[in-house]
Amino acid sequence: MFDNQPGPAQVQHPLEFLAEIEQQGSRDQEMLLRDSGTPWAEMLAEYVDALNELATPGTGANGFIATYGLDEGHAGGCG
């Protein structure tokens, strides 16, 4: 009489569910980036240049111009 009833529903672990959501979001973002015509390397270079300009105001007045690049310095953590 009770043989036709389904067993208890399998509930997915919450962390597995969140991981699936994160993976789907990453796939969606990758597709949007791939499908857009934006030159990402150029945009990144312009962004770094803009940050350099923001980081150096007033340094020309004292004769020193500080410049920062992606390959200079170290990863921090000194102290």
10-residue stretch averages of pLDDT, the chain, 79 residues long? 66 92 92 82 88 72 62 55
pLDDT for 14 = 92
54, part of any domain = yes
Q: How many CA atoms lie within 13 A of 5 on its CB side?
A: 5
Answer whether 17's CB lies under 8 Å from 24's CB. Answer: no
22, part of any domain = yes
Answer whether 72's CB lies under 8 Å from 52's CB. Answer: no
79, part of any domain = no
71, part of any domain = no
**Count of domains observed in the chain:** 1
68, part of any domain = no
Domain that holds residue 25: 14-62
Query: Vertex 42, ends 36 and 29: CA angle to 5°?
Result: 35
